[in-house]
């Protein structure tokens, strides 16, 4: 069995797959570092955890009651958001690769530290298990330099300031699921709390809407999406670094536009003009980004939606496709996000190598 972990700053998600990569159970602990909640299979309970190791303990302790013996787990695999320019494929975690992940912390200070905490928690609790990492940035490593470079002086570009792109595990899972039905030119949309679009040509990423960080692209749940650099400098001047960072990432997007909520379902049901404007802004920004990526593809053969909104909100899909009606009739796919299974498959492939 394979244990898959997706670790956030105050949460840890777990999934267990068998050798056929069938999902056996999934669960999570929220509120890591204090009073929180654990869900595992069909059970729910309040828990208090001091750190990620304690949260992992809670999840592991509950597995036997669901028929999962810890002795049968043969590997642990992790989602790591940022692999930088060097970690562009799934890897077995060694002291060297762990140091490389740690070196990427300046590029992803909000995302890589929790992943490192998850890796450390497994090493502490299950030290015999081989561990593996899959990177959200890796799928986009196939992009040409003209798509990834910012027009900055070389000294700044050499610091790693460039487009990386994210949601790569979601897009890799989409390509895998479409299989032989994958069109040559696919416009893929991951619409959820985070939102990105990806131009996929012959199964490879050639351009994407997210850049140096997951902030750029269309309007998101609480992130601004694209915003002019001078506007960011104004926010820094007005609010300072920490407050401006919070504003851009956690207080903007659908939440900032509506003034009430970041939940798309609630906004669609809300008759208030602010809610309607937030939804219209979201749709407009996705359609506008779509045009850019269709240009990068030099046309499009099909469109695919994934993510919480992409999979579950038919009204949003319909409004986006209305905005793209000038394309003519194009096949539209709705593909379930399957990042955990993609991570499990990556690890399974690595374990099978001699």
Catalytic annotation, residues: 136
DSSP string, 137-184: TGGGGGS-HHHH--S--HHHHTTT-S-----HHHHHHHHHHHGGG--S
Containing 37, the helix (H) or strand (E) segment is strand 35-40
Q: Which residues pair with 79 in a beta bridge?
A: 134
What number of H helices and E strands is found in the chain? 14, 13
Q: Which two tokens stand for residue 194?
A: 């985070």
Residue 90, both tokens: 């799934």
Distance separating alpha carbons of residues 176 and 170, to the nearest angstrom = 10
Contact, 197 vs 170, CB < 8 A?
no
**Alpha-carbon distance values, 118 to 111, 115, 265 (Å):** 11, 5, 32
Burial 212-233 (b: 16+ CB within 10 A, else e): bbbbbbbbbbbbbbeeeeeebe
Residue 161: CB atoms within 10 A of its CB come to 14
The H or E element that residue 61 is part of is: helix 52-62
- Which residue is associated with the tokens 């690890």? 347
For residue 305, the cross-strand partners are 189, 334
Q: What element of type H or E holds 55?
A: helix 52-62
At residue 72, the 3 state secondary structure works out as helix
Please report where in the chains the tokens 């030119």 appear, as a residue. Answer: 185
How far CA 46 is from CA of 5, 58, 63, 233, in Å, comes to 20, 11, 16, 42
């Amino acid at each position: 069995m394979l244990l898959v972990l997706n670790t956030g700053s105050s949460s840890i998600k777990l999934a267990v797959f068998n050798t056929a990569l069938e999902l056996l159970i999934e669960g999570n602990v929220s509120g890591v570092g204090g009073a929180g909640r654990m869900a595992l299979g069909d059970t729910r309970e309040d828990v208090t955890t001091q750190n990620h190791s304690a949260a992992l303990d809670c999840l592991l302790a509950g597995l036997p009651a669901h028929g999962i013996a810890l002795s049968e787990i043969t590997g642990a695999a992790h989602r790591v958001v940022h692999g930088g320019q060097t970690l562009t494929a799934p890897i077995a975690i060694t002291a060297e690769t762990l140091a490389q992940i740690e070196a990427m912390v300046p590029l992803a200070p909000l995302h890589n530290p929790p992943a490192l905490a998850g890796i450390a928690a497994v090493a502490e609790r299950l030290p015999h298990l081989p561990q593996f990492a899959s990177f959200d940035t890796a799928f986009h490593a196939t992009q040409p330099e003209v798509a990834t470079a910012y027009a900055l002086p070389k000294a700044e570009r050499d610091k790693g300031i460039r487009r990386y792109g994210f949601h790569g595990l979601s897009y890799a899972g989409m390509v895998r699921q479409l299989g032989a039905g994958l069109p040559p030119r696919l416009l893929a949309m991951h619409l959820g709390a985070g939102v990105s679009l990806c131009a996929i040509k012959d199964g490879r990423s050639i351009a994407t809407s997210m850049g140096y960080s997951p902030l750029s692209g269309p309007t998101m749940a609480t992130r601004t999406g694209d915003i002019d650099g001078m506007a960011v400098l104004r926010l820094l001047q007005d609010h300072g670094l920490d407050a401006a960072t919070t504003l851009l990432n956690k207080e903007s997007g659908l939440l900032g536009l509506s003034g009430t909520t970041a939940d798309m379902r609630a906004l669609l049901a809300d008759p208030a003009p602010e809610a309607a404007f937030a939804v219209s802004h979201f749709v407009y920004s996705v359609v506008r980004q779509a045009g850019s990526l269709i240009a990068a593809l030099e046309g499009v053969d099909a469109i695919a939606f994934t993510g919480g909104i992409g999979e579950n909100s038919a009204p949003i899909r319909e409004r986006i496709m209305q905005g793209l009606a000038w394309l003519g009739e194009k096949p539209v796919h709705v593909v379930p996000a399957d990042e955990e299974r993609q991570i499990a498959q990556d690890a399974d492939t690595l374990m099978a190598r001699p």
